[in-house]
């Protein structure tokens, strides 16, 4: 709304609002530090102090990213609104990933982060390197995500149809499947599917 009703002179307000929202989120995380661990969204999301540490780090990095990128955006004459939107959406994906408590959330949250990451990597369409990075990012994301989901399906079947992490552990114990070859196969696929994800996040997104 601000971008559609403002002119070029109001761009600092976009930086201010985005940075202020992240600072308020950091403050909310710190104020909830002493709260008891809780599980919400029908068991899909959990909050504890360990999760809050990573949420704080993600929010801090996003907060620092905005002022550090001002000069670069001005030099490249990129649209600031889309850039800030991608940063904030990627932050939301990382926040949900920190508290993910089931297989669906563990898959959807990184995809939200990855989607914004390869959109950011292809943000400068006039740069050939940006287009190449986006294409590689998209192909690797599709391949690794399919491998990761295949590993999740093995884990889902071996646990007796459970998706929550604690229920998966209980299901593996109840079905006596914790030493089965299926678990080894699931862990291999999950590891292989996660490895390219971390590499592409460190590579093309930068």
* CA 21 remoteness from chain centre: 18
**Per-residue three-class SS string for 128-175:** HHHHHHHHHHHHHHHHHHHHHHHHHHHHHHHCCCCCEHHHHHHHHHHC
Q: Are 186 and 158 in contact (CB under 8 A)?
A: yes
**Sign for the pseudo-dihedral over CA of 144, 145, 146, 148:** positive
Total number of domains constituting the chain: 2
Q: Do 129 and 97 reside in the same domain of the chain?
A: no
Give 83's contacts (C-beta < 8 A, 6+ positions apart).
69, 73, 120, 123
Backbone dihedral region for residue 160 (phi beyond 0: left; psi -120 to 50: alpha; all else: beta): left
> What is the Cα–Cα distance from 80 to 191, expressed in whole angstroms?
36
Is residue 50 scored above 50 in pLDDT? yes
Q: Do 30 and 82 reside in the same domain of the chain?
A: yes
Give the CA diameter of the chain: 65
Q: Do 20 and 93 reside in the same domain of the chain?
A: yes
Query: At 205, is the pLDDT very low, low, confident or very high (cuts 50, 70, 90)?
Result: very low
Q: Do 154 and 201 reside in the same domain of the chain?
A: yes
Find the mean pLDDT for residues 162-173: 86
Could you tell me what percent of the chain has a pLDDT over 90? 12
Q: Do 96 and 179 reside in the same domain of the chain?
A: no
pTM above 0.85, yes or no: no
**Domain presence at residue 113:** no
**Domain presence at residue 56:** yes
**Sign for the pseudo-dihedral over CA of 118, 123, 127, 128:** positive
> What is the Cα–Cα distance from 185 to 31, expressed in whole angstroms?
42
Q: What residue numbers bound the domain in which 132 lies? A: 125-206
pLDDT digits over 115-127, tens only?
888 788 777 767 7
Burial of 155 (0-12, 13-18, 19+ CB in 10 A): buried
């Amino acid at each position: 709304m601000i971008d559609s009703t403002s002119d070029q002179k109001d761009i600092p307000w976009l930086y201010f609002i985005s940075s202020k929202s992240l600072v308020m989120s950091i403050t909310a995380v710190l104020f909830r530090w002493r709260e008891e661990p809780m599980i919400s969204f029908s068991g899909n999301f959990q909050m504890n102090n360990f999760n809050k540490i990573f949420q704080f780090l993600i929010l801090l990095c996003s907060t620092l990213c905005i002022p550090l990128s001002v000069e670069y955006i001005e030099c490249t004459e990129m649209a600031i609104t889309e850039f800030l939107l991608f940063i904030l959406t990627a932050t939301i994906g990382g926040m949900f990933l920190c508290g993910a408590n089931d297989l669906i959330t563990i898959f959807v949250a990184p995809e939200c982060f990855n989607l914004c990451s390869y959109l950011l990597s292809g943000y400068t369409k006039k740069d050939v390197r940006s287009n190449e990075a986006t294409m590689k990012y998209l192909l690797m994301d599709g391949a690794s995500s399919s491998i990761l989901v295949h590993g999740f399906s093995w884990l889902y079947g071996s646990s007796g149809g459970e998706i929550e992490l604690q229920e998966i552990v209980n299901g593996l114990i109840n079905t006596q499947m914790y030493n089965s070859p299926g678990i080894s196969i699931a862990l291999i696929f999950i590891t292989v599917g996660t490895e390219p994800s971390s590499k592409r996040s460190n590579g093309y997104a930068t």
